[in-house]
């Protein structure tokens, strides 16, 4: 173990927020050892802005709770941790960990339960990458380096402690972490890792809880280097483990959305990670919608059911929280609303809570070459730049244009079918009452689609479960937008 002067590593207390110093000082005052460890130290050394600071101590979580009282909450099962609130920030305080006493592992060697406190040396050995193992004591101005981690930082190399295969088997999420750090820091992955990082190894991610994988996926989306990590997810065959039914291909839409996400993060704008899920799953959603449309399901219901199906499939890999799922379905539903709004809906639509996300999504589609947006992305962009009077003018122009288009569309049903990726609401008015909807269904409201479904209609009569399912109707209500409907 080497003890380095913090200043030599480019570290000083002036770079640290008061919250982490408060936590370290309080623990020291109570007689415990406490260090800053992990990403915070690593990022500061690299001249990056750390997203947070993690503390580690020889105090057990219960003792940390004694020190901080009501400012502290103990969380976690697999890893018991203390969350300490300091000012408006939350600091994660971990206790030095020893190797698990009783091996509580799964059949594939994955550690399931792990609350065995130990020494700093043992704690070090449990960490993943060497660059994440520097222990910084800011008040003493020292850094403890147990494995020449500083030279890995300098060489910009991602090296796992111990045997890479065993470390991935213990916790397959480390594979995702490897790609995340390599992309975020622009580091090389150690050849010893590359040797064993194969398709068979990535299969182990199947054993990881889809909740944990969701959290990791969020970190991938929000680290600011999504564009860089996406091809790596494909190259290392991790894409397939994370995204159900999403073809491992970076389409222009996905690429553009990833760049856009990274840019927003760079300029300090907030991002909603669910937005990128909406992008990734968009194609699956369209295909599934089409599947239902071809069965003669009315468009709104086809979309609602497709949304449910796609998200349900995705939940087998990453469990997207309910609020985020709702967001995704609303963004998708907004696409239909924005594509062909009724003139009297335009103002309300522009004020809708989901307008911004829906519009961004539409514009990204359009700018990435999706002609099915019919130029409406630009139209809405222009609309938003106008004052109230100008808005009235463009709405009336739009109304006239729309009437013309409608006449043209009636004349040329075939062309309409080709150009409408999503059934525009105005061209196929949706029945208002359930009775109407059923009647419309029975009388095959979408004749062209039924023609092309080559007899599938026979499997899909009015008594098909999807037409009876009450739950779908309730869920639809969540997606539906009040005044704009």
Q: Which residue is nearest to ligand ATP (CB)?
A: 39
Shortest approach of ligand ATP to residue 97 CB, angstroms? 9
Alpha carbon distance 49, 178 (integer Å): 19
String of contacts with ligand ATP for each residue 211-230, x by CB under 6 A: --------x-----------
**Contact range with ligand ATP by CB under 6 A, out of 128-136, 239-247, 255-263, 309-317:** 128-136
Tell whether residue 123 is a contact of ligand ATP (CB under 6 A).
no
CA 84 to chain centre: 26
- Which residue carries 């979580």 as its tokens? 61
Q: Which of 123, 171, 330, 366 binds ligand ATP (CB under 6 A)?
A: 171
Give whichever of 38 and 358 is closer to ligand ATP, judged by the CB atom.
38
Q: How far is CA 435 from CA 21, 297, 426, 430, 432, in A?
A: 66, 14, 20, 12, 8
Alpha carbon distance 304, 477 (integer Å): 10
**Contact range with ligand ATP by CB under 6 A, out of 60-68, 166-174, 296-304, 368-376:** 166-174
Give whichever of 93 and 279 is closer to Mg ion, judged by the CB atom.
93
Pairing outcome for strands 142-145 and 135-137: antiparallel
Give whichever of 184 and 288 is closer to Mg ion, judged by the CB atom.
184
**Contact range with Mg ion by CB under 5 A, out of 50-58, 193-201, 278-286, 424-432:** 50-58
Give whichever of 171 and 330 is closer to ligand ATP, judged by the CB atom.
171
Tell whether residue 181 is a contact of Mg ion (CB under 5 A).
no
* CA proximity to 159, closest of 121, 122, 133: 133
Alpha carbon distance 297, 441 (integer Å): 7
Size of the site for ligand ATP (CB under 6 A): 13
Start-to-end C-alpha separation, the chain? 66
Shortest approach of Mg ion to residue 273 CB, angstroms? 17
Q: Is position 54 annotated as part of the catalytic site?
A: yes
Catalytic entry in 54, 114, 190, 237: 54
Alpha carbon distance 413, 277 (integer Å): 34
**Contact range with Mg ion by CB under 5 A, out of 54-62, 130-138, 147-155, 361-369:** 54-62
Shortest approach of Mg ion to residue 20 CB, angstroms? 11
Dihedral pair phi/psi, residue 10, rounded to 5°: 80, 20
Which of ligand ATP, Mg ion, none binds 225 (CB below 5-8 Å, type-dependent)?
A: none
Give whichever of 171 and 360 is closer to ligand ATP, judged by the CB atom.
171
C-alpha dihedral (359, 362, 367, 371), degrees to nearest 10: -140
Query: Within 198-314, where are the H helices?
Result: 199-202, 210-222, 226-235, 239-242, 252-266, 273-294, 299-314
Q: Is position 52 annotated as part of the catalytic site?
A: yes
Q: Is position 207 annotated as part of the catalytic site?
A: no
Which of ligand ATP, Mg ion, none binds 132 (CB below 5-8 Å, type-dependent)?
A: ligand ATP
Give whichever of 132 and 416 is closer to Mg ion, judged by the CB atom.
132
Paired residues of 158 in beta bridges:
189
* CA proximity to 334, closest of 376, 305, 292, 368: 376
Query: Within 370-468, where are the H helices?
Result: 376-384, 388-411, 413-419, 434-442, 447-452, 465-468
Dihedral pair phi/psi, residue 86, rounded to 5°: -130, 110
Q: What is the per-residue DSSP string for 84-95?
A: EEETTEEEEEEE
Alpha carbon distance 306, 267 (integer Å): 35
Tell whether residue 159 is a contact of ligand ATP (CB under 6 A).
no
Residues 27-46 that bind Mg ion (CB under 5 A): 38-39
Alpha carbon distance 409, 415 (integer Å): 7
Catalytic entry in 22, 25, 52, 370: 52
Residues 39-68 that bind ligand ATP (CB under 6 A): 39, 51-52, 54
Catalytic entry in 128, 237, 262, 360: 128
Q: Which residues does the annotation mark as catalytic? A: 52, 54, 128
Instruction: Tell me which residues touch ligand ATP (CB under 6 A).
Output: 38-39, 51-52, 54, 127-128, 132-133, 171, 173-174, 219
Instruction: Tell me which residues touch Mg ion (CB under 5 A).
Output: 38-39, 54
């Amino acid at each position: 173990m080497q003890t380095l002067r913090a200043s030599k590593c480019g570290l000083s207390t002036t770079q640290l927020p008061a919250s982490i110093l408060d936590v370290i000082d309080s623990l020291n005052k109570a007689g415990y050892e406490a260090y800053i460890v992990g990403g915070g130290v690593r990022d500061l050394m690299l001249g990056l802005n750390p997203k947070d600071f993690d503390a580690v101590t020889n105090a057990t979580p219960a003792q940390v709770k004694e020190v901080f009282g009501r400012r502290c909450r103990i969380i976690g099962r697999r890893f018991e941790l203390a969350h300490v609130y300091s000012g408006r920030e939350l600091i994660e305080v971990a206790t030095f960990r020893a190797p698990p006493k009783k091996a509580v592992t799964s059949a594939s060697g994955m550690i399931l339960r792990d609350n065995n406190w130990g020494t700093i040396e043992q704690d070090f050995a449990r960490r993943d990458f060497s660059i994440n193992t520097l222990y910084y004591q800011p008040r003493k101005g020292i850094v403890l380096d147990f494995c020449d981690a500083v030279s890995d930082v300098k060489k910009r190399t991602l090296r796992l402690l111990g045997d890479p295969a065993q470390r991935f088997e213990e916790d397959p999420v480390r594979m995702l972490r490897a790609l995340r750090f390599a992309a975020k820091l622009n580091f090389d992955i150690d050849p010893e890792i590359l040797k064993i990082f194969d398709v068979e190894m990535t299969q182990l991610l199947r054993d990881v809880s889809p909740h944990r994988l969701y959290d990791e996926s969020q970190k991938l989306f929000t680290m600011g280097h999504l564009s860089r990590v996406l091809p790596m997810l494909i190259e290392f065959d991790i894409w397939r483990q994370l995204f159900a039914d999403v073809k491992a291909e970076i389409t222009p839409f996905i690429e553009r959305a990833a760049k856009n996400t990274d840019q927003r993060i760079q300029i300090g704008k907030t991002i909603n990670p669910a937005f990128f899920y909406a992008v990734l799953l968009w194609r699956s959603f369209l295909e599934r919608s089409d599947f239902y449309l071809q069965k003669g399901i009315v468009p709104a219901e086809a979309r609602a059911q497709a949304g449910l199906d796609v998200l349900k499939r995705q939940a087998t890999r990453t469990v997207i929280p309910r609020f985020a799922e709702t967001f995704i379905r609303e963004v998708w539903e907004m696409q239909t609303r924005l594509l062909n709004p009724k003139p009297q809906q335009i103002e309300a639509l522009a004020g809708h809570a989901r307008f911004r996300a829906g519009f961004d999504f539409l514009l990204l589609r359009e700018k990435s070459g999706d002609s099915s947006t019919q130029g409406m992305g630009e139209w809405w962009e222009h609309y938003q730049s106008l004052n109230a009077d100008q808005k009235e003018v463009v709405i009336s122009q739009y109304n006239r244009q729309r009437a013309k288009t409608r006449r043209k569309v009636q004349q040329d049903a075939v062309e309409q079918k080709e150009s409408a990726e999503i059934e525009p609401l105005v061209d196929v008015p949706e029945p208002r009452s359930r009775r109407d909807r059923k009647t419309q269904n029975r009388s095959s409201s979408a004749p062209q689609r039924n023609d092309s479904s080559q007899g599938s209609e026979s499997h899909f009569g009015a008594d098909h479960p999807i037409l009876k399912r009450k739950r779908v109707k309730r869920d639809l209500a969540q997606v539906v937008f009040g005044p704009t409907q």
